[in-house]
Amino acid sequence: MNRLAVAIATLALLSACDGGDIIIQPSTTDASVDNSSNTTQPVAEENPCASYLSTGGQTIQGELSGNNCIYVPSFVDAGNNLTVNMTIPDLENDGAHIFEGSLFVGKTYDTDEGLAGAGITKGGDGPVLTVEAGATLAFRSSGDFIIVNRGAQLFAVGTEDKPITFTSVSDVEGTVGPEDVQQWGGIVINGFGVTNKCQYTGSMSAGNLTTSDCHVDAEGAAGLDESQYGGDNNEDSSGRLEYVIVKHTGAEVANGDELNGISFGGVGSNTIIKNLQVYSTYDDGIEMFGGAVSFENYVGVYVRDDSIDIDEGWSGSITNALVIQSETLGNHCIEADGIGSFSSLTSEAVEATIKQGINSRPTISNLTCIVSPSAEQGNFDPGAGWRLREGIFATINDSMVVGSFNSDSDDSNYCLRIDNRSKQAAQDGDLSLNSVIFACADRTRGNSLPNGTRVEDWAAANGAVFATINDWADPTPNAHTDLQLLQDTPPVYSIEYATMSVDGEVPSGSPQNGVYIGALSTADINWAMGWTYGIFEGNRGQSLWFE
Amino acid sequence: MKPREPSAGAAVWTIAAAMFAGIAGAQDAVDTNEEAEGGSPTDRSTVSAGPIEEVVVLGRLINSTQQLINERQDDEVVSDVMGSEMISRLGDATVAVALRRIPGLSLVNEKFIYVRGLGERYSSTLLNGATIPSPDLTRNVIPVDIFPTSIVSSLRVQKAYSADMPAAFGGGAVDIRTKGIPSGFTYAIEVGSGYNFENDGDAYSYPGGGSDRWGTDNGSRALSPQLESEIGRFLGNLDVQGILDRLRKEGNHDATIEDARRINRELALHLNRNVSVAEESIHPDLDLKASIGNNVMLGDDWEVGFLFGAGYKTTWRENERLSRNFNFPDERTDTKLESTYTVDITGTANFGLSYLGEHEVTTTSLFLRNTDDETTIRDFFNENREISDEIGFRNYSVLFEERELIVHQVKGTHRFGDLTRELPVVGWFDRSWIPLDAEVSWFHSDTVVQTDIPNQVTVKAQTVTAPTTGEVLSSVINADASTSDFRFTLLDDDVLNYGWRFNIPVSTTNWFLEASGGYEHARKARTYRQSQFRLGAFSVADPRILEGSIGEVFSDASIMDPANDFVFDRTGTNNQSYLAATMTEAVFGKVDVTWKEVWRLAAGARWEDYKQVALDWNPYGFTITDPVVTTDPERLEQSTFAQDNIYPSVSLTWIAPFGQWEWAERFQLRFGWSETVVRPDLREITDASYIDPITDDLVDGNPSVIPSDVANYDIRAEMFFTNGDNLTVSAFYKDIVNPIEFFESAASDTTVAREIVNATSAQVSGVEVEALKELSFLSGLLGDWINMFFVQANLTLQDSELVAGEKADAPTNDVRPLVGASEYVANAMLGFDSDDGRHTATVVYNVFGERLYVAGRLGAPDGYEQPYHSLDFTYSWFPTEAITVKAKLRNILDGTVEIEREGVVVFSEQPGSSASISFKWAY
């Protein structure tokens, strides 16, 4: 057991009076003490824990403790990044991989020269961390989190039966409440994709967009925790995430910066993300800072801030997504910004960015948002639907916001809010909502478009249907016929569009694709069943508040 | 368990301090040949007798400054000097405020002096000619507001480099020269009071400590030793899982998560949470000063003198700062209401010993304490909560910052004049080889600065606000893990500087030559330690308690109540603390040749060997992978910087032969050229990023940054007239290659990141005009009363240009002015001295032109601080010889400090007018 090795390094700054030199002599003093009784491992038992070969040719391996593998900071930690390929296996008996430090894959570089020197230029050229289906990775404390640096890749491919879980030790130990957050940091994935925090020449449409020295400091990162993202390769691959669940995240890593469930910084389109869930996160569920990674089948449950947050020119898509807020906490289902640092830019700079085509241009289809019209609670802003602003050109199809399960608390629980440059985008047709239904007591927020049209009128005339809600209305067939959008138990399944009821009538129009809008339908494959946590009976810590 | 964190940290410091071992009990140096105690009673006594005419009136002003003018005239390079008499007339309380009256100087952020438009990086500050440490948390720069003018004998600003001073020279070097030994017995007692009209009678405050009135903490804010030892016990892991893990390692196998939770919360009880912000009625300023000194002859040959001084000052200030978002100035505002209680304490002790008038040893000891106790409520809105949303954010914060400077200097001068040569002991040797009046001087200066910020607390809250005004209607404290931040910061900066020099004068009929040379050694050791904790509740049983005060929300009972889910931890990155050291060895040689008192050429060169190291320090590192400091040779190598180089200077002066110029008593023309260097600051060469403790910006160092080379060119014409009038016109040009500049760099979301890079080039050129004119020439027109007035004014016109170049990260403007450089700075003073010598009055005006405050990135417009007009009035009445009554009105125009970005006011602050009065009894 070397786990208690305590080292106190001592620095000596000595100066010979006549020599005139500053002498640096750090020395390492081993002050290790281990008072724990001998829980020596049985000899010769095979160690299933992850291992890698150090640069010195030594095998570094985690240590088996009961069913779990323990990885001390000398295995990996901030400043002791994983720089070679490694596989984290699925452990028997639901054992977890417990990390006592951070897990950073690859090194970060903040100059072009640094990247070139390391042979990392376009992505996919760094170390690979592979996580086997069924594995659980757990982190112990607030300062510990995961970074997948530019060039490095994370292959975490689970299955419906064997999803991969990233969570806290408190969750593994069963001492965490269903809605507890800030139990550990979260995940940061960085790529070489396009972010409008950097300066580019050329344009997206001409296909000649290039940049140099694009190194955006990722959120909450200083000192050994720092990392950078950004570049001009929107086709970058940061790996593959399938059937992955990220839980109880959001601890503060540095000054006031809390981590999201997963932050995608400039992550490229060749990254495959399919069946991803975030559960009980303090900050946002997923936040994309530029890049073009796309998501198929996303679930956000009990996200306290924004379940989907878009910034800095993300141009990927989300297909099939289910967002369920907590009854009392949670802000937007979507908060979507077009241009980073928008509030300090002149309108000329904003238009130049749009002209280059590097403002956010996402496509979102089949999203169901079940939001709680709660008042602001503690530190969190009121539950609301979609906030589209700062020059985002978004296309949202076949989706709905249901904010009527509870009493409306104030006029901040809007379904739709369009702000500043995005109003012009709406007027110009650069922002479009097609076959979407809004069921909130406060339909919209914000002033009119530049041409004077009210946001609600614009939306209604361009593919959105607003339900009339007085205070609240159960949108299931169990209650009444005026509003019927969702059905079954739990009521997260969309009713077929042609049989939906809004203000007692079938909503106008039809889905862009298929026969229903929203995430799930009882008539279709239930892609969320079997692997997600917290929604369906049998695999959750509490029942849903709107059942 | 063995020594853990605290002792580890202490060990580091002890050893770092060993760098200075053997240099105890220091001393220091003062120019005793400067004017005595700055007061004017002796002047006045001669003036008050008899009828007065213009010569006498002006004579007084000139007498008191004649020495300084002489010094300026006789200086081999371009310099400006301001004496205590002038400072007293101006009524400026700190060196920072006084320095802005000197041509070409401006004050930025109320702390830093910019010389000729070049930022704080380019101006160096010396105390009696010696290098001193800095209380600044991240840099070497000296915030000159720490020095009260009461200790100052004169301020000398050397604008052209000479080889006998440190080569790290950009815009100029400020030498603060403290009061020396008086010429005879003297004492003074002064009592004053004042008030700032921005104060509304009640200020924010919080329960502090019992010795706050002395500007020091009585221990109530200190980081608890028990907490420190517990951090060691838990190897820095104070989170619940870390505690549980440790408990089990300690042999307590039955420890449960509940045990760990309880311990976690108990640890939080070691923090001083009694910081509830409330309003308190405030008192007017208080200002007390006393000094005593004497100078006596012991026999015919020996002279001893001393001067002791002490001062105590307290002020209350209330301050409102309003920031507005550039694009959403009405929706996203940030209002800071700050109350500051300031205590200044000064103590000085000087001794001097002189033998034969040719040998002199003087010591200066100085103690300065400047403590600001700030309580701030900040109400703000942002992109997520705008004013129209009717909800916002609030931060409460308290900051107790104690800055202390302790100086010991000793200085000696030995002139081998006639008397020394006649000494019997010298007679034993062959003295023919010693040139007459050869002089050897030496100094030794040992200086320590400490900045201590214990228990700096910020607590976050939410507000419900009024629809259009944003006025806060109610607020509740947040419930999450990072609701509050408790920070403990301690900076120690030690500088040892010593050296010697010789001067050998040789003269013939037409030639006068002085050869000089010397050696100087300066070294600095710094430790900066920041410990940071967070405390908050994930949830509370009764949300109504969050409506209570900070003390109530974080009471012992509230934290320990298991129904409230409180959690405590260390926070912040592991490299906020650092260690740094610099060392400079220098040798210089100069010749100063004068021909027929018409041409004077001074040329010199200095060789400097400079070394620097800055290491990230993790006081809470307990593992080999997370060490206290890195042991990786590559990283260590990257933390160092060394350079040696030779820095030349040449100065040529033409002095108009006496009597040649009818209209001027003296006219001289100077030319100067020198090459100097500006080196990267302490942490700028390290690769790691850190969070600036003041601005919260993310700062990226840059190991590839190289020193900036500065070429300086000066021309100055000086005219001095018989009646005391004078006129000086200077032109200068500075060319900086690879200027070290901070640029904003790309950072995610709302984070502001800055990185240090070498820009391509910078140039500054300008003209400074300075004049003094007595107004008697108007007496025929206006009557004799005008004889009692004089005007003094200076004007600086300059142009600066920075070319950012490729290394900068997408600045909005690749070519722009230097930060803080105004196109014009003007000072004007109207002085009055009554005929009977019993009244003096001064009105002084200062204005600076628009200056760049912050440079934008990627299309964000640059922010410019707008011109600020300040007008001050000082009146002194001398009812008797011993008594002075002085009244001051400061900032009479009561202007608003404003920063604009493309016409949008993004920041405004009202410094406020103030009035004060003082009584002084002196001999």
Nearest CA in chain A to B611: A22
CA distance A174 to B862: 53
Inter-CA distances, B230 with A458, B260, B268, Å = 62, 13, 11
Same domain for B592 and B460, yes or no, is yes
Read off the pLDDT of residues B262-315 as tens digits, 9 standing for 90 and up: 999 999 999 999 999 999 999 999 999 999 999 999 999 999 999 999 999 999
Which of A198, A255, A311 is facing B572, going by the closest CB pair? A255
Please state the φ and ψ torsions of residue B241, each to the nearest 5 degrees. -65, -40
Question: How many C-beta atoms lie closer than 10 Å to residue B474's C-beta?
Answer: 10
How many angstroms separate the CA atoms of B263 and B258, rounded? 9
- In sequence order, what E strands does B620-739 have? 640-655, 666-678, 689-691, 698-700, 708-720, 726-737
Averaged pLDDT, B416-445: 83
Report the CATH number that the domain containing residue B589 is assigned in CATH: 2.40.170.20
Last residue of a domain, one of B177, B195, B221: B177
Q: In chain B, which residues have their Cβ closer than 8 Å to the Cβ of A189?
A: none
Residue B217 maps to a domain: no
Beta carbons of B322 and B334 less than 8 angstroms apart: yes
**Chain B contact set for A143 (CB, 8 A):** 571
Average pLDDT, chain B: 88
Question: Which one of A1, A2, A15 makes the best mutation probe of the B interface by having the most chain B beta carbons within 10 Å?
Answer: A15
Cα first-last separation, chain A = 50
Q: What's the confidence (pLDDT) of residue B660?
A: 65
H or E segment at B247? Answer: helix B240-249
The three-point CA angle B101-B102-B106 to 5° equals: 70
Q: Position B328: which residue type? A: F
B914 to each of B195, B303, B919, how far by Cα in Å?
A: 5, 44, 17
User: Which residues of A are less than 8 Å from B639 in CB distance?
Assistant: 24
SS3 content of chain A, % helix, strand, coil (to 5): 10, 35, 60
**B21: pLDDT confidence band, cut at 50, 70 and 90?**
very low
Across chain A, which has 547 residues, the per-10-residue mean pLDDT values are 28 39 72 49 73 91 95 90 96 95 95 95 93 97 92 98 97 93 95 97 96 90 89 97 97 74 97 98 96 98 96 98 94 96 95 97 98 75 93 98 90 92 96 97 90 96 94 89 93 96 95 96 95 96 94
Q: Return phi, psi of residue B396, to 5°.
A: -100, 135
Distances, alpha carbon B813 to alpha carbons A350, B402, B747, in Å = 16, 39, 19
Instruction: State the amino acid at position B726 in one-letter form.
Output: N
Task: Give the strand pairing for A272-281 and A216-217.
Answer: unpaired
First to last CA, chain B: 64
- The shortest CB-CB distance from B858 to any of A79, A257, A341 is to A341
Q: Is B509 left (phi over 0), alpha (psi -120 to 50) or beta?
A: alpha
Q: Over the stretch B31-85, which tens digit does the pLDDT of each residue have? A: 333 333 333 333 333 333 333 233 333 334 444 456 677 777 778 888 899 999 8
The residues facing A146 across adjacent strands are: A103, A187
Question: Where residue B427 falls among pLDDT bands split at 50, 70, 90?
Answer: low
**Distance between CA atoms of residues B301 and B419, nearest Å:** 10
B429 within domain boundaries: yes
Q: Are A73 and A80 in contact (CB under 8 A)?
A: yes
What is the rounded distance in angstroms from the CA atom of residue B289 to the CA atom of residue B300?
A: 34
| Confidence check: pLDDT of B579 > 90 | yes
Single out the residue in B143, B177, B211 at which a domain terminates. Answer: B177
Task: Mark yes or no for CB contact A223/B583 under 8 Å.
Answer: no
- On whether residue B820 sits in a domain, the answer given is yes
B173 and B283 both lie in a single domain: no
- B418 pLDDT above the threshold of 90: no
B24 has a chain A CB within 8 A of its CB: no
ipTM reported for the complex, 2 dp = 0.91
A402-to-A307, A373, A376, A440 alpha-carbon distances in Å = 14, 10, 18, 6
- Per-residue pLDDT, B662: 65
Structure tokens at B183: 């010429």
The residue in chain B having the minimum alpha-carbon distance to the alpha carbon of residue A258 is: B482
Closest CB to A36: pick one of B251, B384, B745. B251
User: What angle do the packed helices B5-18 and B225-233 form, to 10 degrees?
Assistant: 110
Chain B environment of A13 (Cβ under 8 Å): 15-16, 18-19, 525, 579, 581, 613
Q: Closest Cα of chain B to A221: distance in Å?
A: 8
Q: Which run of H or of E encompasses A479?
A: none
d(CA A187, CA A78): 13
Q: Is residue B413 part of a domain?
A: yes
B461 and B578 co-located in one domain: yes
CA angle A308-A314-A318, nearest 5°? 50
DSSP code of residue B120: G
Residue of A nearest to B2 (CA): A31
Which residue of chain B has the CA closest to A265?
B748
Counting Cβ atoms within 10 Å, is residue B817 exposed (0-12), middle (13-18) or buried (19+)? buried
**Residue B757, in any domain of the structure:** yes
Domain assignment of residue B738, yes or no: yes
**Alpha-carbon gap, residue A142 to B237, rounded angstroms:** 10
Among the three residues B123, B153, B177, which one is the final residue of a domain in this structure? B177
The minimum CA-CA distance between A468 and chain B, rounded to whole Å, is: 23
State whether B139 and B284 are in the same domain. Answer: no
Helical segments of B84-195, H only:
84-90, 95-99
Chain B: closest CA distance from residue A247 (Å) = 16
Partner-chain contact B326 A20, CB within 8 Å? no
B20, B611, B809: residue with CB nearest A213: B809
B34: tokens are: 């400067």
pLDDT at A377: 64
Q: How many CA atoms lie within 13 A of A219 on its CB side?
A: 30
Peptide bond before A490: cis, by omega within 30 degrees of 0?
yes
For residue B478, the distance in angstroms to the closest alpha carbon of chain A comes to: 5
Query: Chain A contact for B38, CB < 8 A?
Result: no
What pLDDT score does B66 carry? Answer: 62
**Interface subset of B 288-317, CB within 8 angstroms of A:** none
Name the one residue in this structure whose structure tokens are 């929300």.
B553
Q: Does residue B686 fall inside a structural domain? A: yes
Per-residue model confidence (pLDDT) at position B659: 66
Put simply, whether B614 touches A (Cβ < 8 Å) is: no
Residue span of the structural domain in which B130 resides: 25-177
Question: Is B913 at the interface with chain A, CB within 8 A?
Answer: no
Contact A147, A190 (CB under 8 A): yes
Query: For testing the chain B interface, which of A104, A142, A198, A421 should be mutated: the one with the most B CBs within 10 Å?
Result: A142
User: Which residues of chain B make contact with A182, given a CB cutoff of 8 A?
Assistant: 480-482, 538, 567
| Packing angle of the helix pair B240-249, B257-268 (nearest 10 deg) | 110
- Judged by phi (left if over 0) then psi (alpha if -120 to 50, else beta), residue B760 lies in alpha
Q: Give the minimum alpha-carbon distance from B698 to chain A in angstroms, rounded to a whole number.
A: 7
Nearest to A5 among B476, B574, B623 (CB): B623
The SS3 call for residue B58 is helix
* Residue of chain B whose alpha carbon sits nearest to that of A24: B636
pLDDT of residue B34: 34
Residue of B326, B329, B108 whose CA lies nearest to B861: B326
- Contact between residue B597 and residue B655 where contact means Cβ atoms under 8 Å apart: yes
CA distances for B765 relative to B668, B676, B714, B822, angstroms: 21, 17, 10, 12
B296 burial class (0-12, 13-18, 19+ CB within 10 angstroms)?
exposed
Report the domain count for chain B.
Answer: 2
Using a CB–CB cutoff of 8 Å, tell me whether B885 touches chain A. Answer: no
Q: Amino acid identity, residue B360? A: E
Q: How high is the pLDDT of residue B54?
A: 31
pLDDT at residue B731 is higher than 60: yes
Report yes or no: A124 and A237 within 8 Å, Cβ to Cβ: yes
**Nearest chain B Cα distance for residue A12, angstroms:** 6
pLDDT at A374: 77
pLDDT surpassing 90 at residue B656:
no
Binary contact (A342, B858; C-beta < 8 A):
no
Chain B stretch 423-482, residues whose beta carbon is closer than 8 A to a beta carbon of chain A: 460, 462, 476, 478-482
- C-alpha–C-alpha distance, residues B557 and B538, integer Å: 16
Chain A neighbours among B 801-840 (CB < 8 Å)? 809-810, 812
What is residue A478's predicted lDDT score, i.e. its pLDDT? 86
Chain B (376-395) residues lying within 8 Å, Cβ to Cβ, of chain A: 383-385, 389-391
Residue B186 lies inside a defined structural domain of this protein: no
Contact yes or no for B332/B198 (Cβ under 8 A): no
- List the structure tokens of A362: 């996402």
**Cα(B106)–Cα(A389) distance, integer angstroms:** 42
DSSP B849: -
Q: Using an 8 Å Cβ cutoff, are B28 and B364 in contact? A: yes
Cα–Cα distance for residue pair B769/B164, rounded to 1 Å: 27
CA distances from B310 to B286, B369, B412, B539 (A): 14, 11, 25, 53
Both tokens assigned to A518 = 């929203």
Q: Residue holding tokens 């760049």? A: B852
CB contact under 8 A, A343 and B11: no
Task: Count A/B contacts: CB-CB distance under 8 Å.
Answer: 290
d(CA B614, CA B436): 47
Q: Which of residues 847-876 of B touch A (CB under 8 A)?
A: 856-861
The pTM of the full predicted model, rounded to 2 decimals, is 0.91
Q: What is the pLDDT of residue B433?
A: 75
Distances from the Cα of A266 to the Cαs of A123, A500, B582, B658, in angstroms? Answer: 11, 39, 40, 75
Find where tokens 């050994």 sit: A224
Q: With contacts defined as CB-CB under 8 Å, which chain A residues touch B538?
A: 180-182
State how far residue B8 is from chain A, nearest Cα, in angstroms. 7
Determine if residue B662 is left, alpha or beta; phi over 0 gives left, psi from -120 to 50 gives alpha, anything else beta.
alpha
Nearest-Cα distance to chain A for B26, in Å, is 16
Considering the domain architecture, whether residues B649 and B766 belong to the same structural domain is answered as: yes
B325 to chain A, any CB pair closer than 8 A? The answer is: yes
Looking at the complex, does the CB of residue B632 fall below 8 Å from at least one CB of chain A? no
Contacts of B917 (CB under 8 A, 6+ apart): B192, B193, B194, B885, B886, B887, B888
Mutate to test the interface with A, among B748, B752, B807 (most CBs of A within 10 A): B748
Q: Which among A11, A225, A381 is the nearest to B385, CB-wise?
A: A381
**Domain containing residue B113: CATH number:** 2.170.130.10
